Amino acid sequence: MSNYKEACRRELEHLVEREAHLDAALLCSVDGLPVAYASSIQIEADALSAMCSSMLSLGDALAIQGGDDTCIQVVTQSRGRTVALIHAGKDMLLGLMGSRELKLGMLLGHARKEVEVIVELINQSHHETKQSEKAKKPAERQPALLEELVKRVMQEAQER
Amino acid sequence: MTEVGESPGDDFAPYSTSVMESSQKMSEIAGFGDPICSALVLKGGRMLIMHEARIDGQSVYLSILCSRVPAGVQALIKKIVECLTRAMTGHA
């Protein structure tokens, strides 16, 4: 699990390094816990994750009231900075914080592209975890389901 | 308080105030300064722009649903707030 977190952190670091006016990038779970982040400014990742999650949930609730399934992005503009929030798969969200020099279209574009990369990294990590689980000897495997455990016990009993 | 055009109605109002209050809190935590406006990007390029204005000591929440983002959003918000101030207080 931590593999994808490290990969995501590296990816976010590259993004913040690449884009001069992008100050911070934060990936967090939908329940408001930080997963990975990179920033050129000081941010309180824990508190900010909770607020980002709350904002996107409210955005979704508001979009539903207007007849949509979810909102695509939430944007907040302050005097100094612009924050863009976007869903990253089913369980996570990405927040990008840019200075006012970074145009809104660019910020939203970065958010969309970055989400694609992050979802790919997460899927890749899940795939690798499954592969390594399959490669293990049956005795070393973690029982994924009760059904699988019962099958294994039955098989071992028959072999005896 | 009032609405023009197609709007989702009364259910919509509590959420827009919550969004503005949350964005205020988020900006405070991040140290970004007071939020000017918040927006939701919706399907088909539509955008819901929200702004909190202080008129005569009261907070008034403004929501603008656009099929496309108009040029000079901040100037437009300023103009609407001026109209509201005139209507509510009798002076700009």
A103-111 average pLDDT score: 91
Longest dimension (CA), chain A: 74
pLDDT for the residue A153: 87
pLDDT greater at residue B33 or residue A52: A52
Give me the total of CB pairs closer than 8 Å, taking one residue from chain A and one from chain B: 100
Evaluate if residue A1 carries a pLDDT over 60: no
3-state secondary structure of B42: coil
Residue A8 has phi, psi (to 5 degrees) of -65, -40
Residue carrying the six token digits 């499954």: A130
Q: pLDDT band at B92, cuts 50/70/90?
A: low
Evaluate if residue A151 carries a pLDDT over 90: no
Of A56-60, B10-14, B23-27, least confident by mean pLDDT is B10-14
A126-135 average pLDDT score: 82
For residues B27 and B34, the answer to whether their CB atoms sit within 8 Å is yes
Residues of A in contact with B68 (CB under 8 A): none
A51 to chain B, any CB pair closer than 8 A? The answer is: yes
Quote the CA–CA distance of A134 and A52 in Å, as a whole number: 37
A43 to chain B, any CB pair closer than 8 A? The answer is: yes
Average pLDDT, rounded, for chain A: 88
pLDDT in tens, A41-66: 888 999 999 999 999 999 999 888 87
Q: pLDDT band at A144, cuts 50/70/90?
A: low
Evaluate if residue A28 carries a pLDDT over 90: yes
pLDDT for the residue A114: 94
Cα separation values, B44 from A61, A68, A108, A145, B47, Å: 18, 10, 15, 42, 9
B25 to chain A, any CB pair closer than 8 A? The answer is: yes
What are the DSSP calls for B12-55, one per residue? Answer: HHHHHHHHHHHHHHHHHHHT--SEEEEEEE-GGG-EEEEEEEEE
Residues of B in contact with A72 (CB under 8 A): 40-43
Quote the CA–CA distance of A155 and A153 in Å, as a whole number: 5
- Decide if B35 and A77 are in contact by the 8 Å CB cutoff: yes
pLDDT for the residue A135: 80
- Domain residue limits, chain B: 12-89
Evaluate if residue A90 carries a pLDDT over 80: yes
Identify the CA nearest to A8 among candidates A27, A33, A24.
A27
Beta bridge partners of B40: A74, B48
Evaluate if residue A139 carries a pLDDT over 70: no
pLDDT in tens, B44-79: 888 888 888 888 888 888 888 888 777 788 888 889
Beta bridge partners of A75: A84, B39
* Interface with B, mutate which of A28, A44, A58, A86 (most B CBs under 10 A): A58
CB interface of A with B, residues 52-91, below 8 Å: 52, 54-55, 58-59, 61-63, 65-69, 71-81, 83
Residue carrying the six token digits 């959420």: B15
Evaluate if residue B24 carries a pLDDT over 80: yes
Evaluate if residue B9 carries a pLDDT over 70: no
According to the per-residue pLDDT averaged within each range, which of A39-43, A48-52, A145-149, B87-91 is highest?
Answer: A48-52
Residue B79 has phi, psi (to 5 degrees) of -65, -45
Distance from CA of B80 to the nearest CA of A (A): 18
3-state secondary structure of A79: coil
Distance from CA of A115 to the nearest CA of B (A): 16
pLDDT for the residue B69: 76
Domains of chain A: 2-135 (3.30.450.30)
Residues of B in contact with A55 (CB under 8 A): 19, 22-23, 26
DSSP label at A136? S
